[in-house]
Structure 1
Amino acid sequence: MYICTVTITYPIMRKIFAMIALTVAFVGCKSTSATSTKVDNKSHTAIKGNWVITSVTYPGSEYIKVTSFNLADSKCFEGSTWKFVSNNDTGNMTLNAADCAQFTSPIKWFVNKEGQFVLKVLNAGEKAKKVRDGYVLRVANQSTESFQLVDNINVGGKLTDVVYQFQKVN
C-alpha cells in the first residue's frame, strides 16, 4: 500500500496546483441534467408561425392556482398569442385575457432532440445570452394545426402535468 503525500513549498506552485485542482473539479463535476441544445429540425420548423393557447389544464385546477412562467395565473394564458420564428429561434408572446394584466414580450426558443421545448422570456432589448432563467417543457401531440407544451410541477409533493394547448392561427 502506497500513500502519496504532496508537499508544495513554493507559494506560486501552491497557486498553480490549486488552480489545476479547481479546474479538474469543475470539469469533472459536469451536471448530467443539462438540457440538450441539439435542435430537432422537424419538430422545430413545424412550430413556426402564429399560434394561440386555447386551454391550460391540470388536475385540481378548480382548487389550486398555477403561476405560469413566473408571469401570471395559468388561466391568463388562455387566448394568448404566440409567434414562433424558426430560422432564428425568436418570437413573441402576448397575454391579452380579460381580467388579467396585459403583457407582451420577445422570446427565444427551440425544440431539442429529446422533445423538450426550451423557452426564455426576454425583456425588450435584452439578449437571450444575458438571461439566466428559462423553462423546459415537453412537446406532445404535435400536428400541423396543434401541439401541446407540458410542464411538470410539484403540487403537494406530487408531480402534476400542466398542459398548454396550442392551436395554429391562419
Structure 2
Amino acid sequence: MKSKALFYLAIFFALSACSVTKSVRSQRNLISGTWSLENIKYENNTGTFNAVLFNDATAVCFEGSDWFFRDNNSTGRYTIKSGSLCDGGDRFIRWSVVERPENYKSQLQFKFIDEKFKDLDSGLGYRLEISSLTEGEMILRSNVSVDGSPITIVYEFVKK
C-alpha cells in the first residue's frame, strides 16, 4: 500500500513539473499558426547594419519570410524566398515560450531540427523577447552587441 502511495505521488509531481502556466498556454495559442515577418528594424544605435540573423541569412532575406508554429507538438518552420542574395527554402524548428520572473517579458525560444525532428547544431538555439502579442500582430526583440555597442533587433510579424 505504501509503495502505491509513493508511486502516485511520484506521478503527480512528474505531471505537475511538465505542466505549463495559463499565461504560457495563452501565448502558445496566440502564436500557433502562420505569420509573415513584415519588417526588421534596429533600435538603440544609428547606422547601416548588415546583420546575419540566426546564423542563417541576412536580414533582407528574412523580410517577407513565412513562419509557421504548431503548438500541439512545438514544431514549426520558417521559409525564406529564394533570390540573388538569399538561399531560400524551409528551416525546421522546435519552439517554446519561456516564462520569466515578474517584471520581465516572456521569451520565444527556438532551435533548428531536421525533417525527422532531430536536433541540429548540437542544440544551439535562440531566444527573443515577446514585446507584444495579439491575435494579429507579434513583435519580438533580441539584444545584440556590435563593436561593443548594444543594439536591439525588432521583428514585426503579422498573422496570416
Both proteins in one fold, TM over 0.5: yes
Match of 1:84 in 2: 69
Pairwise CA distance, 1:68: 0.3
The equivalent of 1:166 in structure 2 is: 157
Residue 90 to residue 142, structure 1, CA distance change in 2 (3 Å): same
The verdict on how the C-alpha distance between 1:42 and 1:129 changes in structure 2, with shifts beyond 3 A counting, is: farther
| Counterpart residue type for residue 125 of structure 2 | G
Q: 1:104 aligns with which of 90, 106, 122?
A: 90
| Alpha-carbon distance in structure 2 between the residues aligned to 1:154 and 1:89 | 29
Q: TM-score, normalised by structure 1?
A: 0.71
In the TM superposition, 1:7-26 aligns within 5 A as none
Structure 2 regions of 5+ residues with no counterpart?
1-18, 101-105
8 Å contact 1:140–1:149 — kept in the other structure?
yes
Decide whether aligned partners of structure 1 residues 64 and 129 sit closer, same or farther in structure 2, where only a CA change above 3 A counts.
closer
CA RMSD after TM alignment: 2.2
| Corresponding pairs, count | 133
**Residue 108 of structure 2 is aligned to residue 117 of structure 1:** yes
Q: Which amino acid aligns with 2:36?
A: V
CA shift, 1:88, in A, is 0.9
1:68 aligned to 2:59? no
* Structure richer in strand, relative to its length: 2
Are residues 121 and 130 of structure 1, via their aligned partners in 2, closer, same or farther at CA, if it must alter by over 3 Å?
Answer: closer
Three-state SS of the structure 2 residue aligned to 1:141 is strand
Question: 5+ unaligned residues in a row in structure 1: which ranges?
Answer: 1-36
TM-score of the pair, normalised by structure 2: 0.75
User: Out of 128, 136, 146, which is 2:127 matched to?
Assistant: 136
The 1-side partners of 2:47 and 2:63 are apart by 15
Quick one: structure 1 residues 163 and 130, their matched pair in 2 at CA, closer, same or farther if it must change by over 3 Å? Answer: closer
Deviations 1:101-137 (A, max 9, x none): 2131211001111201111122333513884200011
Rounded Cα–Cα distance in structure 2 between residues aligned with 1:61 and 1:158: 11
